[in-house]
């Protein structure tokens, strides 16, 4: 992948991450998730879901809307 494309999609290779560091990153992630309150976790999930919905194609959103709500808006 080109450096320009990596920067556009927000992917940059970190030079500090070795193969062993992935285990440590997972440990920190699990700890932080465990330490979050339910409200914090719901807020993070809501932001993630909204981001996904706002960035998907309209036709895909229409399908998701129909599959979850069951009402066509057209």
pLDDT reported for residue 73? 63
pLDDT reported for residue 17? 72
pLDDT reported for residue 3? 61
CB atoms within 10 A of CB 36: 13
What is the C-alpha separation between 9 and 4, in angstroms, rounded?
9
Tell me the chain's radius of gyration from C-alpha atoms.
Answer: 18
**Is the pTM of the predicted complex or chain greater than 0.85?**
no
Report residues of the chain scoring pLDDT below 50: none
């Amino acid at each position: 992948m080109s450096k320009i494309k990596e920067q556009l999609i927000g992917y940059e290779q970190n030079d500090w991450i070795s193969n062993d560091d992935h285990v440590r990153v997972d440990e920190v992630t699990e700890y932080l998730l465990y330490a979050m309150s339910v409200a914090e976790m719901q807020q993070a999930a809501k932001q993630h879901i909204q981001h996904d919905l706002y960035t998907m194609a309209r036709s895909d959103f229409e399908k998701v809307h129909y599959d979850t709500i069951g009402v066509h808006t057209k």
